[in-house]
């Protein structure tokens, strides 16, 4: 316990308590997983801080070296588990670049649509969880209602709610089921109105505004220096979005606005995500309109992809053997290396893959946006109060599974 120093005229203006070492986490409701913060406090003010991570370290990069290229796809699901299709997409794009293949047009549209759906899912959760961390429980319950609709859509298309593993090298696993497009339109229509509801619920809440406005301000120069990306960077006034600046898939055919805000505080990061969800809805609607009505969803290269039509596998012995070989031993990828990054919901998600010409990668390096974004906590926490740290961690939106890889 801290020993209080009695107040008298001689120590006026000095600190009235001794320094305390305060531990927060790893198990704490507002640490969004297993984040441990060790803080040196002077009263309510933080003088020094250590961020301790690694409680969820699974050695994904090492594991990848012993898996075939297809087996790695489920591992990428488990990085940022709120936005699995985005992780799948970044990984398969890197492998496709090494193989020099391109997914069919319809598959590209579906992958982009799923990635945007997952962006809504990720942003939605944090825009409800941040007010909850600050004491407003209601929003979280409302966002879960819409998140359930996204989960249903994912389940309809992929068969899984959480770890969908939908993308494949050269396309996607299977085409959208009948009735999916209508459900998606319905979702977009409902969701547009619901965003307004959340904004009314949170934006006019004086407690939320007091606790987020001008709290945890990050300047543009600081944000770039500490490697922030995604909404955290754009909330500080840096206009950079990989979807627009280095377009991948079919993003160059879509019209969308890159949300940039100037303040750089917790409120701006929250608001930036809110506006990005609106843009994502627009992107999904454009995808639905522009998508080819039919056509293959996976490349027709038997060496790397299963045939779209399963009929032949069930009737021809050679096809059956081929299917077995491909799923058991994988496919060879030409020797070389590549780095591909996409605009994942949390920021720049990059995969650096070195291939030595065999069925398994020689090295997979993952640039996890949450890992990089979390680092800025050290410099900004040093100039704020304990209660602000909760708001800052929430606004940086770290997913600990991705931080720990």
Peptide bond into 26 cis (omega under 30): yes
Tell me whether residue 115 or residue 353 sits nearer to other proteins (CB atom). 353
Distance CA 363, CA 232 (A): 29
Under 8 Å between Cβ of 49 and 377: yes
Among 160, 263, 338, 382, binds other proteins (CB under 8 A): 338
Which member of 290, 334, 383, 387 binds other proteins (CB under 8 A)? 334
User: Binding to other proteins by residue 357, rule CB under 8 A?
Assistant: no
3-state secondary structure 335-371: CEEEEEEEEECCEEEEEEEEECCCCCEEEEEEECHHH
Say whether residue 377 binds other proteins (CB under 8 A): no
Q: How far is CA 171 from the centre of its chain?
A: 21
Q: Which is nearer to other proteins, 32 or 106 (CB)?
A: 32
Among 24, 35, 41, 53, binds other proteins (CB under 8 A): 53
Rank residues 217 and 313 by Cβ distance to other proteins and give the closer one. 217
Question: Which residue, 58 or 145, has its beta carbon nearer to other proteins?
Answer: 58
What is the phi/psi pair of residue 241, to 5°?
Answer: -140, 120
Give kind and range of the element (H or E) at residue 133. Answer: helix 105-133
375 binds other proteins (CB under 8 A): yes
Q: Does 40 bind other proteins (CB under 8 A)?
A: no
Give whole-number Cα distances, 402 to 55, 70, 80, 132, in Å.
Answer: 12, 20, 5, 22
Q: Could you say whether residue 69 binds other proteins (CB under 8 A)?
A: no
Among 170, 166, 191, CA closest to 113: 166
- Contact between 383 and other proteins per CB under 8 A: no
Whole-number minimum distance, CB 57 to other proteins, in Å? 4
Q: Which of 152, 186, 225, 257 binds other proteins (CB under 8 A)?
A: 225
Q: Which stretch binds other proteins (CB under 8 A): 52-60, 103-111, 140-148, 264-272?
A: 52-60
| CA separation for the pair 276, 195 (Å, rounded) | 11
Stretch that binds other proteins, among 121-129, 164-172, 321-329, 348-356 (CB under 8 A): 348-356
Least gap, CB of 400 to other proteins (angstroms): 12
- By CB under 8 A, tell whether 97 contacts other proteins: yes
User: What b/e sequence results for 67-84 when a residue is b if at least 16 CB atoms lie within 10 Å of its CB, and e otherwise?
Assistant: bbbbebbebbbbbbebbb
Q: Which CB sits closer to other proteins, 211 or 401?
A: 401
The total of other beta-carbon atoms located within 10 Å of residue 146's CB is 21
Strands (E), 145-207: 167-168, 171-172
For other proteins, which residue of 149, 224, 288, 386 counts as binding (CB under 8 A)?
224
Number of residues that bind other proteins (CB under 8 A): 37
Q: Which stretch binds other proteins (CB under 8 A): 76-84, 115-123, 261-269, 334-342?
A: 334-342
Judged by CB under 8 A, the stretch of 10-18, 29-37, 325-333, 347-355 that binds other proteins is 347-355
Using rule CB under 8 A, residue 336 touches other proteins: yes
Tell me the backbone φ, ψ of residue 174, rounded to 5 degrees. -150, 165
Tell which residue, 104, 83, 112, 84, has the closest CA to residue 288: 112
* Cα dihedral 39/44/45/46 (nearest 10): 10
Q: Is 300 in the site for other proteins (CB under 8 A)?
A: no
Q: How far apart are CA 284 and CA 264, in angstroms?
A: 28
Instruction: Single out the segment in contact with other proteins by CB under 8 A; choices: 148-156, 194-202, 302-310, 362-370.
Output: 362-370
Q: Are 8 and 23 in contact (CB under 8 A)?
A: no
231-260: which residues touch other proteins (CB under 8 A)?
Answer: 238, 240, 245-246
Work out whether 341 is an interface residue with other proteins (CB under 8 A): yes
- Per CB under 8 A, 78 contacts other proteins: no
Of 222, 231, 215, the C-alpha closest to 392 is 215
Binding site for other proteins (CB under 8 A): 53-54, 57, 59, 61-63, 66, 97-98, 224-227, 238, 240, 245-246, 334, 336-339, 341, 348, 350, 352, 354, 363, 365, 367, 371-372, 375, 379, 404-405
């Amino acid at each position: 316990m801290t020993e209080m120093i009695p107040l008298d005229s001689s120590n006026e203006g000095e600190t009235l308590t001794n320094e305390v070492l305060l531990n927060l986490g790893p198990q704490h409701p507002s640490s969004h997983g297993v984040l441990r913060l060790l803080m040196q406090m002077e009263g309510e003010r933080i003088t020094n801080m250590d961020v301790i991570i690694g409680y969820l370290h699974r050695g994904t990069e090492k594991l990848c070296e012993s898996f075939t290229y297809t087996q790695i796809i489920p591992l990428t699901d488990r990085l940022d588990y709120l936005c699995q299709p985005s992780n799948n997409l970044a990984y398969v794009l890197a492998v496709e670049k090494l193989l020099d293949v391109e997914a069919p047009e319809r598959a590209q549209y579906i992958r982009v649509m799923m990635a945007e759906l997952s962006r809504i899912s990720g942003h939605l959760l944090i825009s409800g969880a941040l007010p909850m961390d600050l004491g407003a429980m209601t929003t979280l319950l409302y966002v879960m209602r819409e998140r359930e609709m996204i989960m249903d859509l994912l389940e309809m298309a992929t068969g899984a709610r959480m770890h969908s593993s939908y993308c494949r090298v050269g396309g996607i696993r299977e085409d959208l089921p009948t009735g999916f497009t209508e459900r998606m339109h319905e979702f977009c229509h409902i969701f547009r109105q619901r965003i307004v509801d959340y904004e009314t619920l949170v934006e006019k809440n004086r407690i939320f505004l007091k606790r987020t406005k001008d709290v945890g301000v990050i300047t543009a120069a600081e944000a770039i220096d500490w490697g922030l990306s995604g909404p955290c960077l754009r909330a500080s006034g840096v206009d950079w979005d990989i979807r627009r600046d280095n377009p991948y898939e079919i993003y160059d055919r879509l019209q969308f606005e890159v949300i940039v805000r100037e303040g750089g505080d917790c409120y701006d990061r929250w608001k930036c995500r809110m506006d990005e969800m609106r843009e994502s809805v627009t992107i999904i609607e454009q995808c639905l309109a522009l998508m080819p009505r039919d056509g293959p969803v996976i490349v027709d290269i038997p060496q790397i992809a299963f045939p779209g039509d399963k009929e032949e596998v069930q009737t021809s012995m050679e096809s059956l053997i081929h299917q077995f070989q491909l799923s058991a031993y994988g496919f060879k990828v030409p020797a070389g290396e590549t780095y591909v990054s996409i605009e994942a919901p949390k920021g720049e998600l990059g995969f650096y893959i070195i291939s030595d010409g065999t069925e398994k990668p020689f090295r997979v390096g993952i640039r996890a946006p949450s890992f990089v974004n979390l680092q800025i906590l050290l410099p900004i926490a040093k100039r704020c109060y304990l209660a602000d740290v909760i708001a800052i961690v929430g606004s940086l939106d770290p997913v600990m599974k991705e931080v720990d890889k």
